[in-house]
Chain A
Amino acid sequence: MINKVVKNATEAVQDIPNNATLMLGGFGLCGIPENCISALVELGVKGLTCISNNAGVDDFGIGLMLKTRQVKKMISSYVGENAEFERQLLSGELEVDLIPQGSLAERVRAGGAGIPAFFTPAGYGTEVAEGKETREFEGKMYLLESWLRADFSLVKAWKGDTAGNLIYKGTARNFNPMMATAGKITVAEVEELVPAGELDPNQIHTPGIYVQRIFQGEGYEKRIEQRTVTP
């Protein structure tokens, strides 16, 4: 088996250049590549285009990279919960492209699957459809959406092996599996890294072919945005 293991996040992201296009997995703060984000802040790389469903909060997730002005453009479906984001957007420092969540997920999936474009009903008749080709299929209108691909995809999984196979946990799966397929270089950080052969091949969510670098992450904070409990 090809060994994909790198030492840590610093080594995994060291060659990400200024103005790169990145995909970052996660929904809210759930399943985000915490270690890679910290390493990017340390690296100080600038002018990034970040494709991610959300933009973190002020002091966590992608919010940390916004604070250090490393992000030029966000491609997301929902960007609330972040005051610094709002300030940069209103002042024109930050560009934002808002995409319906299902179209975002499918555009990333298409990018990894070699499908340059597809028709979806989401956004037909709204401002999302402006400038896009539309077509009728069996009496219903659809609009053409194109694939998304990235220079680097940064994903977070629960378990991984040295061959790059990944297993996610709970709803921390979200955008990670598609993003893993759509990066020229995909970096996976995992809570538990095991030798090839220890994970059951029947249970693999992301096959190792999509992953170029994998490392054992550390110090996961796994912050919760809305802690709701039953008394």
Chain B
Amino acid sequence: MLDKIGIAKRIAQEIRDGYYINLGIGIPTLVANYIPDNLNIVLQSENGLLGIGPFPKEQDVDADLINAGKQTISMLNGSSLFSSAESFAMIRGGHVDLTILGAMEVSENGDIANWKIPGKMVKGMGGAMDLVASADNIIVAMQHKSRSGASKLLKECTLPITGINCVNKIVTDMAVLDVLSEGGFKLLERAPGVSVQEIKDSTEGTLIVEGEIPEMKID
């Protein structure tokens, strides 16, 4: 089984040179720490920045420079600043190459639920609905099962959905899976020490297993 850092490290392997990337809050934010140094990529913050850098030194903290999680950040050389309308224009316009976000549930046809739990205070969807409806390349970081052991990879989402037919790939604590356009979770890799049978038992939606399933390689 992978911990959160393991999931972040495995997702980082999906990043290619030249990508513009939007990282969601939580595990996706951690991915930034494991992107190989030899890749030139640009991180987008949907409040209005391309070129997110590391957290600033204490003396460089600027209240006018935050990311979408409202954390203080720095800017890298070559950064640009713009309005939130411009930011979502570049998202909807398909200019962002990769979107990585968390989920509470994903269905076998690529629907995602990650904004609302009935009976709990609804905080809002923020930019999640715009991102999932617009991006061509979406990777979801999530736990395979709930704390009570129920699968979160389902035939159909039970929670209110954020977007439909949009997830391409999922990295969980147990596995890497593609969501096929015709429906179904195709198993690509197993987490270290996790068997195909355990993944089958933990996946409620249709799981497609073809041939030998290799174990993930994580440094």
Q: A residues bordering B, Cβ < 8 Å? A: 27-31, 53, 76-80, 86, 89-90, 98, 100-103, 105-106, 108-109, 120-128, 158, 168-178, 222-230
Contact = CB atoms under 8 A, between A and B. Distances in A.
B133 A226 contact: no
Contacts of B81: 168, 170-171, 173
Given A122-B92, A224-B63, A109 B85 contact: yes
Contacts of B123: 78-80
Contacts of A228: 55, 71-73
Contact of B126 (A78, A120, A127, A171): A78
A135 to B, nearest CB: 14
Nearest to A76: B124
Contacts of A89: 121
- Report the contact-size class of chain B (Cβ under 8 Å from the partner): 35 or more
Given A77-B125, A122-B133, 6 more contacts: A103-B129, A120-B133, A123-B133, A123-B163, A171-B65, A228-B55
Given A78-B125, A120-B92, A126 B47 contact: no
B121 A90 contact: yes
Interface string B159-174: 0111111000000000
A57 B81 CA distance: 25
20 contacts: A30-B66, A77-B127, A79-B124, A86-B121, A89-B121, A98-B122, A98-B125, A102-B129, A121-B134, A123-B163, A124-B164, A169-B64, A170-B62, A171-B48, A172-B64, A173-B81, A174-B83, A223-B63, A226-B69, A228-B73
Contacts of A101: 46, 84, 88, 125-127, 130
Contacts, number: 165
Nearest to B54: A230
B84 A53 contact: yes
B110 to A, nearest CB: 11
A100, A124, A175 pick with most chain B CB within 10 angstroms: A100
A177 B83 contact: yes
Contacts of B62: 170
A98 B65 CA distance: 25
Closest 6 CB pairs of A and B: A102-B88, A102-B130, A170-B64, A125-B164, A222-B63, A80-B123
- B contact face: mostly helix, strand, loop, or mixed: loop
Contact of A173 (B73, B83, B92, B128): B83
Interface in B44-99: 45-49, 54-58, 61-67, 69-73, 81-85, 87-89, 91-92
B78 to A, nearest CB: 16
Given A106-B85, A177-B85, A171 B45 contact: yes
A178 B56 contact: no
Contacts of A78: 123-126
B125 A100 contact: yes
Given A125-B164, A170-B62, A226-B70, A77 B124 contact: yes
Contact of B88 (A90, A105, A169, A170): A105
B124 A98 contact: yes
Contacts of B129: 100, 102-103, 122-123, 126, 128
A63 to B, nearest CB: 14
A41 B12 CA distance: 47
A98 B115 CA distance: 11
A175 B88 contact: no
Nearest to A121: B133
B88 A125 contact: no
Nearest to A230: B55
B163 A125 contact: yes
